[in-house]
Chains A and B, each alone.
Chain A
Amino acid sequence: MSDTGASTVWKRDHFIKNPILRWIVILVGSAYLIYAINDMNFNLDRMRTGWPRAVDFFQRMFPPDYSRWTMIYKGVFESLQMAIIATTVSIFLAIPLSLAAAANISVKFVYVIARAFIVLARSFPPILVAIMFVKAFGFGPFPGILTLSFTALGFMGKLLAEAIENIDKGQVEAVRATGANWFKVQLYGVAPQVLPRYVGLSIYLLDINLRASTIIGIVGAGGIGGALFNAFHRYEYDTALAILIAIIVIVLVMEFISSKVRSRLQ
């Protein structure tokens, strides 16, 4: 038994064992919370005026208005096309990128550049990238496809490079021992080991890209998002709800397909 002696009442261990540290965490945490909630300027009066607006909002949302079905249909298809093109572009470009960003294959100089690119592509939310591309290249699906390809490349590059870094070296050396050149070593020594992961990631990427493609239209980068944003701004909340439902449905269908295919791959 420990030297604390046997107490008759059992107590749970504290999550943070050190009492001083525990109290510091609790105090700092609550101080921050009080400050942050205060800083929110939560205004009850504004909530009171907001409430009827909220009720009105919901009343106008129902029932969803499908009268502009062709517009929704076109937007959804454009989102789908953007996602497919961007996914294709990024899964091809991800191959050289991930080889360049894998520490066990690349040379130091190339490695640093590739990793820097990956960090840059991964850090910004797609919407931010989309704004910049729209400002630079104009409206439409083109900046949208660029956005999705760019952010997807960062995601794919990172995970694929990690997969390559974890491969079994023996197989690579066996292929090299046959006298294979650099490309053949990659093709027969590295590629078969990461292929299942590559295919799984590609499908997951399509899933992510489709999600993003339904939303970047808000800043003018093509797809169904633009229609949604317009519906909100024209106070046509019933149309907005119809579009929202369409988005939820295609996102769920894609998620279902993606998880089915990925579980079959494993």
Chain B
Amino acid sequence: MTEIQPAIWKRFSKKQSLERYGIEFVLLLIFIWATQSVDIYWPFVTDAPAQAVDLLHRMTPPSVVFIKAIIPSMIETINIATLSTIFAVILSFPLAILNARNTTPHPIVQMVARVIIVTSRSVNELVWGLIFVVFFGPGVVAGVAALTMRSLGFMAKLVSESIEEIDHGQVEAMRATGANGAKVFIFGVLPQVMPIIIGTSIFRWDINIRQSSVIGLVGAGGIGILLTSSMNMFKWQNVSMILISIFVVVLAGEYVSATVRKKLT
């Protein structure tokens, strides 16, 4: 070797480290900008630990008898999650076909489908909840509609991506047998994307269990309504019991979802 090695090993050359320091410096500046200009009321911050202890104190012990009110509300929550997942799966299916590059009938149709998917995905379920409460009035129906709308884009995006990645040979084999368009789809495309559809549905159901516990805050049904009313009445021991139940149900949902998905793959 002609080059003289430095005595201490360094991972990056001088230019590389300068670049790295540059990026880090910019990130630091962004962070400083954010902390300096954010509108934080500092007495709240210094007071925070005391307030947290105070609230925890008021929340203990959780009111065990309140479970009687929680259970029906929790069943409603789970129903909202399940129904909205089912509706979203059904509705997302045509949307996914229209959106996938290889199955869309026309680029314009594909663009419309994409706009629907993007809107559905980027608007939070609480906002959908606000909108559907105006339509249907407060209650379960608004909640199911809100979660369906939110899940729709998520499902359609993942399913259409998997349609785009299918093996074309099977489609052509079907076509070679003289099958018509619908049959090509049912026997050539569908079997290939079915595992993805089922896996994604169960994953979405898991997410919806979590979210359905929240949408009650805007009046869209489920345990969230009970939570809001308990808070407004300062019944903190009921609140902590509700939080514990949500925690348990979410964990159970995650467990079911993980087990089923493991079995399928």
Contacts and interface: CB of A to CB of B under 8 A. Distances in A.
Are A and B interaction partners?
yes
Interface of A: 12, 15, 32-33, 36-37, 39-43, 46-47, 50-51, 53-54, 57, 77-78, 80-82, 84-85, 88, 119-120, 123-125, 127-128, 131-132, 135-138, 140-142, 145, 211, 214-215, 218-219, 222, 228-229, 232, 244, 247-248, 251-252
A135 B38 CA distance: 20
Contacts of A41: 139-141
Given A127-B214, A128-B214, A140-B44, A251 B139 contact: no
Nearest to B118: A252
A140 B44 CA distance: 9
Chain B interface mostly: helix
B34 interface: yes
A222 B39 CA distance: 9
Given A40-B144, A50-B137, 4 more contacts: A85-B38, A123-B254, A138-B44, A247-B122
A248 B123 contact: yes
11 contacts: A36-B82, A42-B141, A46-B136, A46-B137, A57-B131, A81-B37, A119-B251, A123-B254, A124-B210, A131-B231, A222-B39
Nearest to B44: A138
B126 A215 contact: yes
A47 B132 CA distance: 11
Contacts of B48: 136-137, 142
Nearest to A15: B194
B128 to A, nearest CB: 11
B124 A215 contact: yes
B79 A123 contact: no
Nearest to B130: A232
Contacts of A57: 131, 134-135
A90 to B, nearest CB: 13
B258 interface: no
B30 A123 contact: no
Interface string B48-67: 10011011000000000000
Contacts of A141: 38-40
B38 A248 contact: no
Given A39-B79, A40-B79, A128-B243, A78 B118 contact: no
Nearest to A82: B38
Contacts of A131: 217, 227, 231
A133 B131 CA distance: 26
B144 A140 contact: no
Contacts of A77: 37
A244 B52 contact: no
B76 interface: yes
Given A53-B135, A248-B122, A136 B55 contact: yes
B231 to A, nearest CB: 7
Contacts of B251: 119, 123
B140 A39 contact: yes
Contacts of B31: 84-85, 88
Interface string B104-142: 000000000000001100111011001100111101110
Contact of B41 (A125, A142, A251, A252): A142
**Residue of B40, B124, B131 with most partner-chain A CB within 10 A:** B124
A137 B130 contact: no
B201 interface: no
B134 A140 contact: no
